[in-house]
Amino acid sequence: MGKKLKAIDEYIANAQPFAKPILLMFRDLIHEVCPQCEEKVKWGMPHFEYKGQMMSTASFKEHCILNFWKAPLLDDPQEVLEKGSTSAMGQLGRIRSMDDVPDKSVLEELILNAMRLNEANIKLPKKTSQRVKEIDLPSDFQLALDADVTAADHFNSFPPGQRKEYLEWITGAKREETRAKRIITAIEWLAEGKRKNWKYEKC
C-alpha cells in the first residue's frame, strides 16, 4: 500500500467533525483499490496519483467533495458523477454525511476505471479557448458600484469570467429582497478584492 502523508493526516484531523469519517473512508478505499497510489497535497487539498493525476478530496465548512481528474472520460455506469461540476461543488455533489456517499462497489468501479484511463495514458482533450460573453450590468448593481470606487475598481479589474459569476448570481435572484441583499454582499466582497467564489479558494 502506498505511503500515507502526514500532511493529509493533519488535513483530516483539522476537518469539520462531520467530514472526518467521509475523508477517511475515501482515503482508505482509494488505497484499497489502488495500492500503488501516491498521496500529494496540491492547492491545499489531498490528491491521489497513479501513473499521473487521478483523484482528489477536500472538505469545506458544510460539505466534502470527491473529484476524478479525468471525469469527462470516465465510464460511469451508475451515472453518479456530475461531470461538469466545479472543484468546489464536487462530482458526487456536496457530501454532508455518509448517507450522501454512493455504495462502496460503485466507488470501487469508478476508481478502477480511473486507473485504466491512466494505465492506457489516455489524456483529457485540450480545452479550446472560448471568449466569455459579457453580461450587461444591471442598473441597480451599477449604482452600487458607482457608490463604492474601491469595489468598482476591483470588479473592473477581474477577467470577464469572474465578473460574470457575480452578475449571474445577482440576476439569478428570484425575489427583489434577495437581489438587494446579494448586491450589498457583492459590494462588500468586491471592496475587499474577493472573487465571487472566494470561500472555496481556501480549504
**Element (H or E) spanning 190, and its range?**
helix 176-191
| Weakly modelled stretches of the chain, pLDDT under 50 | 203
CA atoms of 43 and 51, how far apart (whole Å): 20
Its pTM stands at 0.62
Q: What is the pLDDT of residues 96-139, one digit of tens each?
A: 999 999 999 999 999 999 999 999 999 888 765 555 566 778 88
Structure confidence by residue, pLDDT tens digits, 17-32: 999 999 999 999 999 9
d(CA 114, CA 73): 9
Architecture label for domain 6-119:
Alpha-Beta Complex (3.90)
- The grid coordinates of residue 84 equal 461538469
* Strand spans (E) along the chain: 38-42, 45-49, 53-59, 64-68
Domain definitions of the chain by residue range = 6-119, 139-200
DSSP 40-79: EEETTEEEEESSSEEEEEEE-SS-EEEEETTGGG---TT-
CA gap 122, 198 in Å, rounded: 33
CA 189 – CA 51 distance, rounded (Å)? 40
